[in-house]
C-alpha cells in the first residue's frame, strides 16, 4: 500500500513519540534502581567553596579526580582565594599542578580565569552556565558541573562516563555527540533531577559499567539495558576447533582461514568476516570464542 509523503511523515512522528515515551519509562526504571544501589552522590572533587570547585574541575579535564585531589591541597594553601590566584602567573601555578595532564595550558587558564573573575565578576565565581563558560579553561561541561554542584542550577553535564552509559543502556538514540546525549537525557526527566542523573550515570560508569570490563552479570539494570541484552545474544563459545588448520573458523561454511576480511554491520561496527562467503559468524580457533563485537560508545 502506498502511504504517500504526508502519511509517512505522520507515521515517523508517531514512532518518534512512542520511542521517546518508552525511553522515558526506561529512564524512570534505570534511575530508580541506580538510586537504590548507589544512593545520593555528588562530585568526588574535593572542595569547600565554588572557587575551589571551579579550579578542581578545570584541572580534571582528561585527568582523574583522584589525581586532582592529590595536588589541590597544596595549590589551595598557596592560593586560598580567587583574589590570590589572580595575582599569580602561570609560572607560579605550574609547580603545583605539574603532575596533572596538560599542566602548561591549565596553569595559563587558571591564572587568566582568576583575573577574569576579579575583573568581570567582582571576585565572585559566577553561577550561571553562560557566565562560567566565559572563563578561561571552563568549557560547557565544566560550567555545568560548577553551576549544578556549587549553585544548585539545573544542569546535566556529559562526560565520557555519562556518554558511554547513556548510550549503552539505550536512554539515548543515535546520540553521537555529548551535546546530543545532554539534550536527549534532559528530555527524559524534569530539571530538578538533572544534576542527580549526572552523578548517577558517572558513578555507575566509573565503578560498574566501566569502559573495558562492564560488570553486566551483577548489574542492577542488566534486564533493561540494551548493551547487556545484546551481549546475551552473542554466539556461544565453540569447542573442538583445531587452531593448526587456521586462525579463524567460519561456522557458516565450516572451514578455517588465516587472513580475515572486515565488514561493517548494521550498527556501524567493524566485524571480522570470512573472505570466502562474507559471513560474520566467525570464531577464533585458539579459544573458540566469537569474534563478533557489540557497538560501544566512547568520547
Q: Same structural domain for residues 141 and 177?
A: no
Q: Same structural domain for residues 56 and 144?
A: yes
Specify if 9 maps to a domain. Answer: no
Domain of 172, CATH number, reads 1.10.1670.10
Specify if 286 maps to a domain. Answer: yes
Q: Same structural domain for residues 244 and 274?
A: yes
Measuring CA to CA, how many Å separate 130 from each of 17, 118, 123, 155? 31, 17, 17, 12
Q: Same structural domain for residues 173 and 88?
A: no
Catalytic residues: 141, 159
Q: Same structural domain for residues 134 and 267?
A: no
Specify if 224 maps to a domain. Answer: no
Q: Same structural domain for residues 75 and 118?
A: yes
Measuring CA to CA, how many Å separate 280 from each of 145, 235, 240, 252, 273? 43, 11, 20, 8, 5
Q: Same structural domain for residues 141 and 173?
A: no
Q: How far apart are CA 142 and CA 53, in angstroms?
A: 10
Q: Tell me if the pTM is above 0.85.
A: no
Res. 255: pLDDT tops 80: yes
Residue 182's pLDDT is what? 96
Contact 94, 104 (CB under 8 A): yes
Res. 4: pLDDT tops 80: no
The confidence band for 299, taking pLDDT boundaries of 50, 70 and 90, is low
Residue 282: in which H helix or E strand, if any? Answer: strand 282-284
Q: Same structural domain for residues 164 and 136?
A: no
Res. 20: pLDDT tops 80: no
Contact 115, 137 (CB under 8 A): no
Q: Same structural domain for residues 64 and 209?
A: no
Specify if 10 maps to a domain. Answer: no
Res. 5: pLDDT tops 60: no
Q: Same structural domain for residues 142 and 189?
A: no
The SS3 of residue 250 is strand
The confidence band for 8, taking pLDDT boundaries of 50, 70 and 90, is very low
Q: Which residues contact 8 (CB under 8 A, 6 or more apart)?
A: none
Among residues 109, 107, 111, which one has the least CA distance to residue 97?
A: 107
Q: How many domains does the chain have?
A: 3
The confidence band for 143, taking pLDDT boundaries of 50, 70 and 90, is very high
Query: Dihedral angle at the C-alpha atoms of 177, 162, 45, 194, nearest 10 degrees?
Result: 100
Q: Same structural domain for residues 36 and 164?
A: yes
Tens digits of residue pLDDT in 23-50: 889 999 999 999 999 988 889 999 999 9
Domain of residue 146 covers 50-151
Q: How far apart are CA 199 and CA 201, in angstroms?
A: 5
User: Percentage of the chain with pLDDT > 70?
Assistant: 93
Final residue in a domain of this structure, among 103, 134, 151:
151
Amino acid at each position: 500500500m502506498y502511504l504517500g509523503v504526508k502519511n509517512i511523515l505522520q507515521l515517523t512522528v508517531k514512532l518518534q513519540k512512542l520511542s521517546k515515551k518508552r525511553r522515558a519509562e526506561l529512564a524512570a526504571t534505570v534511575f530508580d534502581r541506580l538510586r537504590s544501589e548507589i544512593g545520593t552522590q555528588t562530585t568526588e572533587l574535593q572542595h569547600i567553596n565554588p572557587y575551589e570547585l571551579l579550579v578542581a574541575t578545570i584541572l580534571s579535564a582528561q585527568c582523574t579526580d583522584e589525581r586532582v585531589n592529590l595536588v589541590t591541597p597544596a595549590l589551595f594553601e598557596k592560593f586560598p582565594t580567587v583574589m590570590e590566584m589572580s595575582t599569580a602567573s602561570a609560572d607560579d601555578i605550574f609547580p603545583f599542578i605539574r603532575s596533572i595532564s596538560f599542566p602548561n595550558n591549565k596553569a595559563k587558564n587558571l591564572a587568566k580565569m582568576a583575573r577574569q573573575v576579579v575583573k568581570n565578576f567582582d571576585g565572585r565565581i559566577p553561577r550561571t552556565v553562560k557566565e562560567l563558560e566565559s572563563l578561561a579553561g571552563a568549557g560547557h561541561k565544566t560550567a555545568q558541573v560548577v553551576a549544578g554542584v556549587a549553585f544548585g542550577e539545573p544542569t546535566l553535564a556529559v562526560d565520557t562516563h555519562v556518554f558511554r552509559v547513556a548510550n549503552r543502556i539505550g536512554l539515548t538514540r543515535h546520540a553521537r555527540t555529548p551535546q546530543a546525549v545532554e539534550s536527549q537525557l534532559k528530555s527524559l526527566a524534569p530539571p530538578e533531577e538533572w544534576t542527580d542523573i549526572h552523578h548517577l550515570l558517572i558513578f555507575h560508569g566509573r565503578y560498574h559499567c566501566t569502559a573495558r570490563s562492564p560488570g553486566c552479570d551483577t548489574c542492577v539494570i542488566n534486564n533493561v539495558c540494551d548493551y547487556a541484552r545484546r551481549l546475551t545474544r552473542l554466539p556461544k563459545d565453540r569447542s573442538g576447533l583445531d587452531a593448526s588448520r587456521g586462525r579463524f573458523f567460519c561456522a557458516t561454511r565450516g572451514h578455517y582461514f588465516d587472513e580475515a576480511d572486515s565488514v561493517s554491520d548494521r550498527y556501524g561496527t567493524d566485524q571480522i568476516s570470512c573472505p570466502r562467503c562474507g559471513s560474520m559468524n566467525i570464531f577464533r580457533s585458539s579459544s573458540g570464542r566469537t569474534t563478533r563485537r557489540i557497538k560501544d560508545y566512547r568520547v
